[in-house]
Amino acid sequence: MTMLPERAPGAKKLGLVIDLDTCVGCHACAVNCKEWNTGGEAAILPDYDKYGPQPDGVWFNRIHSYETEEGGCSRTVNLPRSCLHCEDALCVTVCPTGASYKRLEDGIVLVDTDKCIGCQLCAWACPYGARELDEKAGVMRKCTLCIDRIYDENLPAAEREPACVATCPSRARHFGDLADPQSEVSKLVKERGGVDLLSDLGYRPTNKYLPPRRATIPSAPAEAPSHDGKGLGAALLKLLDKALSR
Amino acid sequence: MRPAASILLLTTATGFGFGLLAWLGAYAALGLLPPEAPALLIAGIALALILASVGLLASVFHLERKERAWRAFTQWRSSWLSREGVAAVLIYPLAIALGVAFLRDAQSLWTRLLGAATLVGSLGTVYCTAMIYASLKPVRQWHNAHTAPDYLLYALFSGAVLFAALRTAALGAAGPMASVAALMAALACFAKCAYWRHIDRQGPLATLASAIGLPKGTAKALDAPHFSENYILRQMGFVIARRHAARLRRLALGVGFALPLVLEVLAGLPVVPLTSTLLALGCAAVGLLIERWLFFGEATHVAALYYGRPV
């Protein structure tokens, strides 16, 4: 059923908190995600043209790098991008078949690949670009929050977390119940001022991002060429510059 | 957004089909169809249903798992795509019932009621199609107040042009339909210009800085996650050069709306009515395909922001 479930206030809301301050952009989370999900309970995550000139494939998690500037300080910010398990998930309500759904018990957004017809409307409805078509099986695929890990009682309790969280070498990824104000993730969000991506669009994502801590060392101002030189020295320098820039 | 041939064919062919059905329904409801020429209504209904079927079949070819297409009828409570499917299927028995009622008694209450129901049903289906796009918040060129009325207008325009040609073929003259089609061409042209003006003046839906959760600062893309195009970029990163878009816009206005307008006026005078209405029909079909290509080609998706592409 693709109506969003009517979830009681305070109902369990599993999700990720990603620290943009400590993420080093190593792509380990993306690689471990691919590794776990291609060998997991569901079908493989396909690759196309693996060793060709245009390698491509389905990934649930993709790491971007940006150059940002705020208050005269510039820095590199790495942004892991995956499904945010939104409260107002338009990808669920647009689905014509009921394949796309949000779980009542923990808010995880999933695709039932046995029902999906591959119309791809859900991918259009997601502003985060989190859904990718499995072009081999003809169905939509997305992050499952490693639902086949987090509830697996055969795993030691400490390992019942998503593959991306388990592997992160800089501990930039955290997993937990964001509806519980006492959970570690909720405390992190409160302390560090966690934010929603594209909050203006009103999807109310569950996953939160912790903004980079304020940089205190101002970047050196970009060098500007000087044109105010006069006299013999300046003329010589100009000549030298001309000769060297040939 | 990538303009897929199957979706272009779906929206234009169903526009012609349901547009024609809407006019036939309106004529029947008002008792304006000449009872001495039942072939006009019967041929009209048949043609409309064939066009709608072509469009709907094209849409099935857009699906990756065609054998599961029946599932798309189940989620009409939340999904406009599902509602479109349900509405489109309900139209068939309605249109056939209208034909039967007309053959029995062209002026009966049943004919008029079924005519009105066909009119509402066909426009309702077109509305559902439009709302599939209008409900997508990440695409500013679609999620606005223009999309739904525009789709209705283009369907009524294409249906009018088709009905005028059909009426001329059956009765030798387009009658009032030539003026109606000319008027619809003018209205559709006006609506398209207003839509382009709107999307040209719209600001971007979001900035890259707000997309990465740092709305106070500025950001630019440094490294993408991958070097080759992926599914997201192929579907949602489609960019058309402004130069090409401007040329296609002129072509859509000229061929799609201006030429049919002139030809329908000629047909109404009447100057070579059959040739004029048929030419108008051809021009409208080509023009609307270009217009629809632009509707997709010019649309940008917020997700492309993450790759530093313009939205």
Structure tokens at B195: 């839509």
Residue A115 within any structural domain of the chain: yes
**Residue ranges per domain, chain B?**
1-135, 174-311
Query: In this complex, do A96 and B71 lie within 8 Å of one another by their Cβ atoms?
Result: yes
| pLDDT reading at A246 higher than 80 | no
pTM of the model: 0.91
Partners of A175 in the β-ladder? A16
| pLDDT reading at A225 higher than 80 | no
- Of the candidate ranges A219-223, B70-74, B244-248, B301-305, the one whose mean pLDDT is the lowest: A219-223
pLDDT at A224: 65
| pLDDT reading at A222 higher than 80 | no
Q: What is the 3-state secondary structure (H, E, C) of chain A?
A: CCCCCCCCCCCCCEEEEEECCCCCCCCHHHHHHHHHHHCCCCCCCCEECCCCCCCEECCCCEEEEEEEEECCEEEEEEEEECCCCCCCCHHHHCCCCCCEEECCCCCCEEECCCCCCCCCHHHHHCCCCCCEEECCCCEEECCCCCHHHHCCCCCCHHHCCCHHHHHCCCCCEEEEECCCCCCHHHHHHHHHCCECCCHHHCCCCCCEEECCCCCCCCCCCCCCCCCCCCHHHHHHHHHHHHHHCC
| pLDDT reading at A40 higher than 80 | no
Give the closest-approach CA distance of B295 to chain A in angstroms: 15
- Of the candidate ranges A193-197, B171-175, B277-281, the one whose mean pLDDT is the lowest: B171-175
Share of chain B above pLDDT 70, in %: 100
pLDDT at A198: 95
pLDDT at B255: 97
Q: Among all chains, which residue has been given the structure tokens 């987090």? A: A150
Give the closest-approach CA distance of B53 to chain A in angstroms: 18
pLDDT at B60: 93
Query: In this complex, do B138 and A1 lie within 8 Å of one another by their Cβ atoms?
Result: no
Greatest distance between any 2 Cα atoms in chain A: 82
Kindly identify which residue of chain A lies nearest to residue B213, measuring between CA atoms. A197
How many CB pairs lie under 8 A apart between chains A and B?
A: 197
Question: Quick one: average pLDDT of B258-269?
Answer: 95
Question: Quick one: average pLDDT of A37-64?
Answer: 91
CA distance B87 to B64: 22
Q: Is the dihedral of CA A230, A232, A234, A235 positive or negative?
A: positive
Give the closest-approach CA distance of A151 to chain B in angstroms: 29
Q: Which of A2, A77, A79, A119 to mutate to test the interface with B (most CBs of B within 10 A)?
A: A119
CATH of the domain at A121: 3.30.70.20
Pairing verdict, β A109-111 and A47-48: unpaired
Q: Among all chains, which residue has been given the structure tokens 């396909």? A: A46
- Average pLDDT value over all residues in chain A: 92
Task: Enumerate long-range contacts of A181-189, CB under 8 Å, 24 or more apart.
Answer: A185/A15, A185/A16, A185/A17, A188/A17, A188/A19, A189/A17
Instruction: Count how many domains chain A has.
Output: 1
Q: Chain A residues with CB inside 8 Å of B206's CB?
A: 127, 198, 200-201
pLDDT at B217: 87
Partners of B46 in the β-ladder? none
Query: In this complex, do B68 and A116 lie within 8 Å of one another by their Cβ atoms?
Result: yes
Regarding predicted confidence, which is higher, B121 or A223? B121
Query: In this complex, do A65 and B223 lie within 8 Å of one another by their Cβ atoms?
Result: yes
CA distance A99 to A139: 10
| pLDDT reading at B27 higher than 70 | yes
In 3D space, the residue among A22, A26, A40, A14 whose CA is nearest the CA of residue A163 turns out to be A40
Residue A130 within any structural domain of the chain: yes
pLDDT per position as a tens digit, A109-122: 999 999 999 999 99
Partners of A111 in the β-ladder? A100
Q: From the list B65, B69, B306, which residue is nearest A139 (CB)?
A: B65
Q: Chain B residues with CB inside 8 Å of A89's CB?
A: none
Q: From the list B139, B213, B225, which residue is nearest A63 (CB)?
A: B225
Between the two ends of chain A, the Cα-to-Cα distance in Å is: 69
Q: Tell me how far the alpha carbon of residue B276 is from its chain's centroid.
A: 23
Residue A218, CA distances (Å) to A71, A74, A215, B185 in order: 8, 8, 7, 60
Question: At A124, which amino acid appears?
Answer: W
Other CB atoms within a 10 A radius of the CB of residue A241 amount to 10
- Of the candidate ranges A16-20, B33-37, B181-185, B276-280, the one whose mean pLDDT is the lowest: B33-37
Integer-rounded Cα radius of gyration of chain A:
23
Between the two ends of chain B, the Cα-to-Cα distance in Å is: 10
Question: Quick one: average pLDDT of B232-260?
Answer: 93
Give the closest-approach CA distance of A121 to chain B in angstroms: 9
In 3D space, the residue among B180, B197, B192, B207 whose CA is nearest the CA of residue B261 turns out to be B180
Q: Chain B residues with CB inside 8 Å of A97's CB?
A: 68, 71-72, 74-75, 82
Residue A202 within any structural domain of the chain: yes
pLDDT per position as a tens digit, A144-188: 999 999 999 999 999 999 999 999 999 999 999 999 999 999 999
In 3D space, the residue among B8, B67, B4, B1 whose CA is nearest the CA of residue A139 turns out to be B67
Range of the domain at A84: 14-210
Partners of A56 in the β-ladder? A48
Q: Show the CA angle centred on residue A110, arms to residues A109 and A115, nearest 5°.
A: 140
| pLDDT reading at A217 higher than 90 | no
Residue A100 within any structural domain of the chain: yes
CA distance B189 to B217: 42
Query: In this complex, do A2 and B224 lie within 8 Å of one another by their Cβ atoms?
Result: no
Regarding predicted confidence, which is higher, A73 or B31? B31
Interior/surface letters B35-58, b for 16+ CB within 10 angstroms, e for the rest? eeeeebbeebbebbbebbebbbeb
Partners of A164 in the β-ladder? none
Give the closest-approach CA distance of B170 to chain A in angstroms: 40
Give the closest-approach CA distance of A202 to chain B in angstroms: 9
Query: In this complex, do A56 and B230 lie within 8 Å of one another by their Cβ atoms?
Result: yes
The secondary element (H helix, E strand) that includes residue B103 is helix B80-104
B301, HSE (Cβ side, Cα atoms, 13 Å)? 28
Q: Chain B residues with CB inside 8 Å of A98's CB?
A: 71, 74-75
Other CB atoms within a 10 A radius of the CB of residue A244 amount to 7
Q: Chain A residues with CB inside 8 Å of B212's CB?
A: 20, 64, 66, 68, 77, 79, 197, 209
Residue A35 within any structural domain of the chain: yes
Query: In this complex, do B71 and A98 lie within 8 Å of one another by their Cβ atoms?
Result: yes
Q: Among all chains, which residue has been given the structure tokens 């059959």? A: B274
| pLDDT reading at B284 higher than 90 | yes
Q: How confident is the model at residue A1 (pLDDT cuts 50, 70, 90)?
A: low
Question: Quick one: average pLDDT of B162-177?
Answer: 92
Query: In this complex, do A96 and B82 lie within 8 Å of one another by their Cβ atoms?
Result: yes
Q: From the list B64, B208, B210, which residue is nearest A139 (CB)?
A: B64
Query: In this complex, do B206 and A201 lie within 8 Å of one another by their Cβ atoms?
Result: yes
- Average pLDDT value over all residues in chain B: 95
In 3D space, the residue among B173, B165, B190 whose CA is nearest the CA of residue B280 turns out to be B165
Give the closest-approach CA distance of A171 to chain B in angstroms: 19
